[in-house]
Amino acid sequence: MENARPPWARRCLGPVWERWSPVRAEPRSWAGVRLPWASTVAVTVFVMVGSGFAAHTQPERVPLDAFARALLVFGGALLLFRHRYPRTVALATSASAAVYFAAGYPYGPIFLTLALGAFGAILAGHRITAWCALGGLWASHVLVGHWLYRWLPPRDGPAPWGDALFVAVWVVAVVAVSELVRVRREQLARVRAERAAAERRRADEERLRIARELHDVLAHSISVINVQAGVGLALLDSDPEQARKALTTIKAASKEALGEVRQVLDTLRTRGDAPRSPAPGLDRLPELTEQAKGAGLAVDVTTAGTRVALPPGADLAAFRIVQEALTNIVRHSGSRTARVLLRYAPGALEVQVDDDGPATAAAGEPAGGGNGLVGMRERAAALGGTVEAGPRPDGGFRVRARIPLAVSNGPAAATHTEADRGTDTVPPTATEEES
């Protein structure tokens, strides 16, 4: 039965059962939606009163009677369900208007009822249904005015084509306005969705930034504490003085870690306010080397090029990269010495950290899978820079970072040639474990 209907009927009316079951035809849930009583009553009263005035200015049309007023009330009452059953209301209001015009009643505010019914269907996404309903109204008006008028209320002859043109103009205007409003609503919905996605993206970026900051702070300090705790336990009986020194280092490292963690948490509690203490930078490199020395790692810092003032972001990133590289050496390298080279090149800062020892892993420690090198690369990439890490050809391990000092918008801004990197660049594959 369904396939026997012509295509236009299937597009306009939907499957056969949907015409007899409004709940199935409109699958959305409207349990919490209130019926628009106030607007429906206002429109119905306006249509009734306005049609009475319109009848006085159109003596050639059939005067309003009880049947005409019943059609007007019926069309207005249908608008009460225009949000729940937009397709049904669009078809029913068009049908009632077609009967109203076929009976020869005067033109007037009934077009408002028709417009609201079609408007609701188009905004709900049932555009073809609304177009078919309005097109059917115009077709029935032409059919009645130029053929069926012989069997309808007495007329002198066929209706003038101006009446059909008037109805066609109203139909086109209703469709045009409804489509414009629909397009505008879709644009606003797209803008809201993009804004919400941008907010979620900013929140994710902030979450990753805080996680990276906490990782860098805790990984270094806890690594120092872990090494010194092992020294203290080993020397507690044989060398109490050295054990006391290890405990002192643990106390200083834990105090510094707590301070930096508190600073990060303060930025979360005071949204939008600047942190009360400055972010760490390369000026704190001596403190970092002292901490590493307390963990048994001698660090030699060398500076090349003309030193310039660094932007806060680049200064923090360089400090954290050095800190993470030294932490990896303490935890995963057999070397007790490390070399840090800060090279101030034109428009960029190059950071290089080397150690000479073989990679080692504590018992039960996973072989890789940490976040240290990932965090380094994320920090550099956020400023348009790069980080390369891997074993050196002559043994040991090297971390090399290049951080542009000019303002950049992303990783694509940091492209440099092999000549800029030098001839001893290590491959970007990391085989040493990350913290």
Encoded tokens for 378: 């994320």
- Give per-residue pLDDT as tens, 238-283: 888 877 777 877 777 777 777 777 766 666 665 555 455 566 788 8
- pTM, entire model: 0.44
Q: Which of 61, 20, 40, 302 is nearest to 163 (CA)?
A: 61
Among 44-53, 310-319, 370-379, which stretch is predicted with the lowest mean pLDDT?
370-379
How far apart CA 103 and CA 94 sit, in angstroms, is 14
DSSP string, 58-122: -TTSPPP-HHHHHHHHHHHHHGGGTTT-HHHHHHHHHHHHHHHHHTTPPPSTHHHHHHHHHHHHH
Residue 341: per-residue pLDDT: 92
Give the end-to-end CA distance of the chain in Å, rounded to a whole number.
70
Dihedral sign, CA of 266, 268, 274, 280?
positive
Encoded tokens for 241: 């003085």
Residue 292: per-residue pLDDT: 80
- Work out the percent of the chain whose per-residue pLDDT is above 90: 10
Between residues 299 and 21, which one has the greater pLDDT? 299
Q: Find out whether 353 and 301 touch, Cβ atoms under 8 Å.
A: no
Three-state SS across 11-58?
HHHCCHHHHHCHHHHCCCCCCCCCCCHHHHHHHHHHHHHHHHHHHHCC
What number is the average pLDDT over the span 396-415?
66
Collapse the DSSP code of 306 into the 3-class scheme (helix H, G, I; strand E, B; otherwise coil) and give the result: coil
Residues paired with residue 388 on neighbouring β-strands, in sequence order = 400
- pLDDT over 80 (residue 116): yes
Q: How confident is residue 351, by pLDDT bands cut at 50, 70 and 90?
A: very high
Residues paired with residue 351 on neighbouring β-strands, in sequence order = 342, 401
How far apart CA 358 and CA 53 sit, in angstroms, is 99
Neighbours of 418 (CB within 10 A): 8
DSSP string, 115-152: HHHHHHHHHTT-HHHHHHHHHHHHHHHHHHHHTGGGGS
CA 173, distance to chain mean position in Å, is: 36
Q: How confident is residue 13, by pLDDT bands cut at 50, 70 and 90?
A: very low
The conformation of residue 261, written as its DSSP 8-state character, comes to H
Residue 353: per-residue pLDDT: 92
Encoded tokens for 16: 């056969």
Between residues 118 and 264, which one has the greater pLDDT? 118
Between residues 207 and 368, which one has the greater pLDDT? 207
Interacting residues of 317 by C-beta distance below 8 A, sequence separation 6+: 379, 380, 382, 383, 385, 401, 403
Q: Which of 332, 328, 354, 331 is nearest to 342 (CA)?
A: 354
Q: Find out whether 403 and 317 touch, Cβ atoms under 8 Å.
A: yes
Residue 370: per-residue pLDDT: 53
Encoded tokens for 263: 């600073």
Between residues 123 and 362, which one has the greater pLDDT? 123
- pLDDT over 80 (residue 123): yes
Mean pLDDT of the chain: 75
Residue 335: per-residue pLDDT: 81
Burial of 50 from C-beta contacts in 10 A (0-12 / 13-18 / 19+): middle
Q: Which of 146, 116, 148, 147 is nearest to 133 (CA)?
A: 116
Encoded tokens for 106: 């005067």
Which helix or strand (DSSP H or E) is residue 235 part of?
helix 161-235
Residue 377: per-residue pLDDT: 85
The conformation of residue 283, written as its DSSP 8-state character, comes to G
Which phi and psi (to 5°) does residue 353 adopt?
A: -125, 125
